[in-house]
Amino acid sequence: MIAARGLSIRTGAGHAAVRSADLAIRPGERLGVVGESGSGKTLLALAMIGMVPEGLQVSGEIAVGGTVVAPGDEAAWQRLRAREVAMIFQEPMSALNPLARVGDTIAEPLMVHRGLTRSAARAQARELLEETGIPQPERRLDQYPHELSGGQRQRVLIALALACDPALLIADEPTTALDAAVALRITDLLVRLARERRMALLFISHDLAAVARTTEAMLVMYGGDIVERGATDRVLADPAHPYTKGLIAARPSLAQRGRRRLPTIPGTVPPLEALAEGCRFAGRCPVELPRCVHLRPAATATASGSAACHLLGAAP
């Protein structure tokens, strides 16, 4: 079980980029985080692996397994990274060393963290590549990243992340840079791996369709707040928070054909310093109440999970 409690991330100027977020993932669970740019979803993911960029202040606590880690305890995080928590990124090319053979890249953590010999590590690397479904795994070991396609590179990164058998895999927009057909296969792979290994998956994406087919539960973030959470299919079918509703409605869907105006959320995501102190969505919300601007709504139970919105609170 991996959990964050009261996790907040502030910029140097003191603006909150993530506001007291709580989340918990059980072994084998697939949790999606949906949000637009500036929602704080990537920072939340980075905090879960102790890699928030310098200059930002993280507070709150993160529990990995039974142990509680302070967000800034770099020594503790170094012990946990790769072995307990691993991460894959959006751009598979820049995440791989272009001068290292794929096999060596994957074998290195096996030798460092698990003390395998060179030949044992290579054999293990081959098995990991095979598990990711990459064609001709044996041949890939001696290839360089530029010789692989985008989807193959993402599979190599997944194999690398799996090397030390982590309890949680964080995937930050892993399919955004990939073509649709390849993206479908990568999300299928992530689902299969989570099931087979009883590995928790934290899947960060702006793409509702990718989250829908990859995850069982989801969080919706806006302006650094988790505004809604619940079972993925039920949240998508019956969103409760005005932002979630707007986001789903604004998404072009296959059902609308030929030059239909889409419902929109007015305005644009404001910069951090311009966000309201209360509900972050205040100012763009179509059903705003006077208290929304200065009073932060608490999470309230909904049919599909919970949402933080004053409209859902004690009805007048």
Partner 1 sequence: MRVPFNLALGAALVALVLAVALVSLVWTPHPHAALDVANKFAPPSAVHWLGTDQLGRDLVSQLMVAARNSMAVAVLAVGIGCALGTGLGLLAAARGGWTEEAIMRLSDLGFAFPALLFAIMLAAVFGPSLPNVVIAIAFINIPTFARVSRAAANQVWRRDYVWAARAAGMGRFAISRDHILPNIAAPVIVQMTIEFAVAILVEAALSYLGLGAQPPNPSWGRMLSEAQTLMYLAPQLAIWPGLCIVTAVLGFSLLGDGLRDITDPRLTRVRAA
Partner 2 sequence: MTLLQVDSVSRRYRLPRRALMRPAPVLTAVDGVSFTLARGETLGVVGESGSGKSTLARLVMGFERPDAGRVLFDGQDNNDLPPAALRAARRRFQMVFQDPFGSLDPRRRVGWSVAEPLRALKGTEDPAPRVAEALEQVGLRAAHAGRYPHEFSGGQRQRIAIARAIITRPALLVADEAVSALDVSVQAQILNLLMDLQEELGLAILFISHDLAVVASTCDRLLVMQGGRVLEAGETGAVLDAPGHDYTRTLLAAARL
Smallest distance, partner 1 to C-beta of residue 48, A: 14
> Are residues 26 and 197 in contact, defined by beta-carbon separation less than 8 angstroms?
no
The Cα 316–Cα 305 span in angstroms is 22
Among 173, 182, 233, 168, CA closest to 30: 168
Smallest distance, partner 1 to C-beta of residue 38, A: 8
**126 or 241: CB nearest partner 2:** 241
The Cα 36–Cα 268 span in angstroms is 10
Interacting stretch for partner 1, rule CB under 8 A, among 25-33, 36-44, 59-67, 183-191?
36-44
- Position 262 contacts partner 2 (CB under 8 A): yes
The C-alpha angle with vertex 25 and arms to 172 and 59, in degrees rounded to 5, equals: 75
Smallest distance, partner 2 to C-beta of residue 252, A: 4
Q: Which of 257, 273, 314, 316 lies at the binding interface for partner 2 (CB under 8 A)?
A: 257
**Tokens at residue 221, please?**
């973030």
Within positions 42 to 81, which residues make up the interface with partner 1, using CB under 8 A? 42-43, 53, 55-56
Smallest distance, partner 2 to C-beta of residue 185, A: 10
H or E element that contains 53: none
The Cα 277–Cα 86 span in angstroms is 34
The Cα 297–Cα 140 span in angstroms is 52
The listed partner (partner 2, partner 1, none) that binds 180, CB under 5 to 8 Å by sort, is partner 2
> Are residues 99 and 43 in contact, defined by beta-carbon separation less than 8 angstroms?
no
**Tokens at residue 59, please?**
């507070």
> Are residues 97 and 146 in contact, defined by beta-carbon separation less than 8 angstroms?
no
Measured in Å, how far apart are the chain's first and last C-alpha atoms?
39
Distances (CA, A) of 253 to 32, 181, 185, 258: 20, 18, 21, 11
- Position 250 contacts partner 2 (CB under 8 A): yes
Smallest distance, partner 1 to C-beta of residue 14, A: 14
Interacting stretch for partner 2, rule CB under 8 A, among 83-91, 103-111, 157-165, 202-210?
202-210
Smallest distance, partner 1 to C-beta of residue 56, A: 6
- Position 264 contacts partner 2 (CB under 8 A): yes
- Position 260 contacts partner 2 (CB under 8 A): yes
Smallest distance, partner 2 to C-beta of residue 214, A: 12
CB atoms within 10 A of CB 293: 13
Within positions 99 to 128, which residues make up the interface with partner 2, using CB under 8 A? none
- Position 17 contacts partner 1 (CB under 8 A): yes
- Position 268 contacts partner 2 (CB under 8 A): yes
Q: What single-letter DSSP state applies at residue 81?
A: B
Bin 58: left if φ > 0, else alpha if -120 < ψ < 50, else beta: beta
- Position 261 contacts partner 2 (CB under 8 A): yes
Q: Which of 37, 55, 99, 316 lies at the binding interface for partner 2 (CB under 8 A)?
A: 37
Distances (CA, A) of 155 to 30, 141, 180, 315: 18, 13, 15, 49
The listed partner (partner 2, partner 1, none) that binds 43, CB under 5 to 8 Å by sort, is partner 1
- Position 252 contacts partner 1 (CB under 8 A): no
- Position 181 contacts partner 2 (CB under 8 A): yes
> What is the contact surface with partner 1 in residues (CB under 8 A)?
11, 17, 37, 42-43, 53, 55-56
> What is the contact surface with partner 2 in residues (CB under 8 A)?
36-37, 179-181, 183-184, 206, 208-209, 212, 236, 246-248, 250-254, 256-265, 268-269
